[in-house]
Structure 1
């Protein structure tokens, strides 16, 4: 598909509309997403030659893909409301105080290490919707809690979720040469280690200000080194498990660190939220293990099913999918037919794990007497009320990305950048990965969308493809920090739906700067022949 300036500028319009409405006009995610979807449809029809039937199918695909996200949001909110109703959050707050009186280390343990652990095994937004409420229960302001979880989950977006995004990249490119594969792994894990270290330092700063950063810098660097170097070494042996193993080790290590005399001194948060009255029954004698019960159940179920190929294969055999016909725009951009588009395996979906954990948690809390009369009704009502506006926004965003993808708008944006950049393209390569994740809220989808494109550019420029492939997936990981759909999950769980623009505004410049730095590093590496 050829690219001209008019097409490129037209393809940029829906993204600009979305950003302006979120950042400048302070619109909520549902309103901004609806406007972005409308503009993407108009441009698909007027500029890119997409027929009404093709656009309708793209919107339908977006709605179907959105279901996978909504199925995570609703049960995760049930767990949140369950913890709120039972008084578990108050117990967790007290338990974290016993772990260490240093509240900044508490935030690092939950917002960086535990969130990274959840990304390592589940992904799909679970770290954000689980981590943000936990941080809020510990005294972190809701907006800050969302920022922290977005940072904490970012580096695990390639080798986390059992390496699904990495597999997606390899499915689109040729890395049959062992040396190329090794170099791609080393470049990817090296840059992801930097992302993780920066995230840890920023989280310490968000939690404790300059004093918190200074006090915890050595701890962050130690844990960051363990995670970065550990992932690099293990990725060469087992990409599926490398992230999960290192974050599991980090989770154990940070609890050991919390026992040191250095962390026995109290340290307050830089800008704590106002104390909230404890929810739950009066005289609640819940223990810390009971308070964490739904989250422990979630981990046990996910690990048991996802790491056991027999169980995963058995429960994964039941799938639901929709069939879609292939279509072609008037400009010649074609989409294939799908006899089974984006199959959903409900029994091994993260939403199923969350729902089962919520059900078991509720049964236990009710039996132990931690749920007051009418508690179940309040839990379900509050969860549903928070899910509906979030679902509308998610559907709008994903449908917008599908319309742009299916009618060639997203590819035109990437091709236009590559055509103008020429020999300096490596500097811009991470931004292509970032674009893919920003549009789809998935590093997996970004790698599938642009992995082959990055390989073609490497062949065209006659350069080693490994750094460009690493730039693709690392840029996608950075893009997860500013992905609107993921931010929506966080603002929904934190009870600040409608403030998505504020979150993006806080991290957008940093994400772009980080991609620029990585691009320059890769460009210099090419010049030096590394």
Structure 2
């Protein structure tokens, strides 16, 4: 269908409303998301010809899809509250000193490498909701902790989570030609390696200022090269495991690095949070292994289930799903009919791993005498108190994205950019991936939404599609840094819900700039035949 300028600006309006309310007006995520949802509904009805029934179904899909995110938030907060109630965070903070007195390296180990490891195996926001409280317990300010975890998980959003986002891209674009597949892999892993290097340097700077980044530059470069080059080589052999393998190796490497004489000298954080005396006096004999117990179990459970096909398939056979009828707008945009929409497999969902790890941690701490009377009640109450406002915001954001997607608004935005830019479209190709993740908080969803579109543009422009497909998924990975729903997970876990606008304002320009650089590189590759 033809697109006019009014439709394009109307499709852009909900995003503008969301950003203005978050960045300019400093509204909380729940309020801004509700306003964005209302704007998307009005646009769908008045401009895009979506009927009330179609819009209602889109909102219902958004609410259902939001459940998978909320099921991560609540048990992750339970793990946090279990650790806080037992005094584990104070032990972790003291135990990290035994690893190395260099607090910037401590932050790199947790906020970059461990968070990247979690992204490699679990994803779905788990690295943010688990990593942020750990960093806070180590003396990092809450807002900085959220920024660090968002940066640390970004590069793993394509081949992490056992390559699920890459599989989504492959499902939408024809990569049956081995040459196209290889080129797309090389382009994707190459750009993601750069993202990882930049993230490592920025995390060192956030933790230790310029001196911290300078002091740890060699370590960051070494680890980034291991991860980037390792992922590139392994992705050609096994895209599903490539990220998990290299982040596992780097996790071991950074602890070995911490034993070097270079890192036996104390180094303080650039802008540490004020120490709370009650967190430092635990009154128990817990050791560092016990303090990390819930997180150890989380890793073991996830690895055993997700890397064993027999167990994964057995537990994954039980699913929950809703059915939805297909609808068509008056402008001709169609939605599919689903007998089982977005099936949720609760036994292999990240939330199940988190909940089981939390329960095991609680029972062990209770047995060892680290949980005081009334601890369970306090844990549940505090977790629910933080989850409810976050859940409202997540539902609003995801429902908004579904309304825009189902009624053609997101497609119009992408097609409008492609039709206007023509031959210079490759410069903007990463922004399409970023848009998809910004709207859905999922690089997988972004690749499914726009993977086929990027391929169509390549055919229309008669250019090699591999670089555009790579730009799509790399842009989606960068978009995970600024995705409002993922930021909400971080602010909820860090106890600063309502400051989502501050987080976005600190990373938005950088994310857009990085996409622009990659877009220029892709464009140059076509011009010079790289």
TM-score range, shorter chain: over 0.9
Contact 2:87 2:282 in 1 (8 A): no
The 3-state SS of whatever aligns with 2:372 is coil
The CA distance in 2 between the partners of 1:284 and 1:4, in whole Å, is 67
The residue that corresponds to 2:409 in the other structure is 409
Q: Cα distance, 1:455 vs. partner?
A: 0.1
CA apart distance, 1:278: 3.6
SS in 1 for 2:340: strand
1:106-127 per-residue CA deviation (whole Å, 9 max, x = no partner) reads 0000000000000000000000
- CA deviation after TM superposition for structure 1 residue 276, in Å: 1.2
How far off its partner does 1:281 sit?
Answer: 8.3
In structure 2, how many angstroms separate the alpha carbons of the residues matched to 1:35 and 1:392? 12
The answer to whether residue 145 in structure 2 is matched with residue 145 in structure 1 is yes
Q: How does 1:287-366 map to 2 (within 5 A)?
A: 287-366=287-366
Matched with 2:10 is: 10
Following TM superposition, by how much is the alpha carbon of 1:279 offset from its aligned partner in structure 2, in angstroms?
4.2
Query: What is the match of residue 512 of structure 2?
Result: 512
Between the aligned partners of 1:220 and 1:282, the Cα distance in structure 2 is 34
Residue in structure 2 matched with residue 121 of structure 1 by the alignment: 121
1:482–1:507 CA contact under 8 A, matched in 2:
yes
Instruction: Give the superposition deviation at 1:2.
Output: 2.1
- Deviation string for 1:428-449 (max 9, x for gaps)? 0000000000000000000000
Q: Could you tell me whether the CA contact under 8 Å between 1:80 and 1:130 is conserved in 2?
A: yes
Contact 1:481–1:511 under 8 Å retained in 2: yes
Over residues 183-222 of structure 1, what are the superposed CA-to-partner deviations in whole Å (9 max), with x where a residue is unaligned? 0000000000000000000000000000001000000000
Residue 195 of structure 1 aligns with which residue? 195
- 2:217 corresponds in structure 1 to 217
Change (3 A) 1:503 1:156: same
The separation in 2 between residues aligned to 1:477 and 1:335, in whole angstroms, is 26
Normalising by structure 1, we get a TM-score of: 1.00
The within-5 A match list for 1:165-244 is: 165-244=165-244
CA distance in 1 between counterparts of 2:446 and 2:379 reads 36
Partner of 2:163: 163
Counterpart-to-counterpart distance in 1, 2:415 and 2:120: 32
After TM superposition, the structure 1 = structure 2 runs for residues 78-117 of structure 1, keeping only pairs within 5 Å, are 78-117=78-117
Distance in 2, Cα, partners of 1:210 & 1:142: 20
Instruction: Work out the CA distance in 1 between the residues paired with 2:320 and 2:278.
Output: 42
Runs (4+) of structure 1 moved beyond 3 Å?
Answer: 278-282
Deviation at 1:135, TM superposition (A): 0.1
- Which residue is 2:262 aligned to? 262
Please tell me whether the aligned partners of residues 104 and 269 of structure 1 are also in contact (alpha carbons under 8 angstroms).
yes
User: What 5-or-longer segments of structure 1 have no aligned partner?
Assistant: none
Task: Report whether the alignment pairs 1:455 with 2:448.
Answer: no
String of CA shifts for 1:110-163, please: whole Å, max 9, x gaps: 000000000000000000000000000000000000000000000000000000
The answer to whether the 8 A contact 1:104-1:208 is kept is yes
Unaligned runs of 5+ in 2: none
CA distance in 2, matches of 1:332, 1:423: 27
User: 1:283, CA displacement in angstroms?
Assistant: 2.3
Pairwise CA distance, 1:280: 9.3
Q: Deviations over 1:354-386 (max 9, x none)?
A: 000000000000000000110010000000000
Structure 1 pair 171/285, CA: closer, same or farther in 2 (3 Å)? same
* Structure 2 equivalent of residue 498 of structure 1: 498
Secondary structure of the 2:240 match is coil
Q: Secondary structure at the match of 2:497?
A: coil
Q: Tell whether the 8 Å contact from 1:85 to 1:279 is kept in structure 2 after alignment.
A: no
- 1:47 and 1:252 map into 2 onto residues whose CA distance is 55
SS of the equivalent of 2:321 reads: strand
Partners of 1:2 and 1:229 lie apart in 2 by 44
Give the secondary structure class of the aligned counterpart of 2:216. helix
2: CA distance, partners of 1:145 / 1:278:
20
1:389-468 alignment runs, 5 A limit: 389-468=389-468
Partner of 2:377: 377
Q: Does the CA contact (< 8 Å) of 1:280 and 1:371 recur in 2?
A: no
Post-superposition Cα deviations, 1:48-80, rounded to whole Å, max 9, x if no partner, equal 000000000000000000000000000000000
Query: How far apart are the structure 2 equivalents of 1:181 and 1:460?
Result: 20
CA contact (8 A) 2:18 2:35 kept: yes
- Distance, in Å, in 1 between the alignment partners of 2:505 and 2:352 is 33
**Cα distance in structure 2, aligned partners of 1:482 and 1:279:** 31
* Contact 1:18/1:32, CA 8 A, preserved across alignment: yes
Partners of 2:186 and 2:511 lie apart in 1 by 22
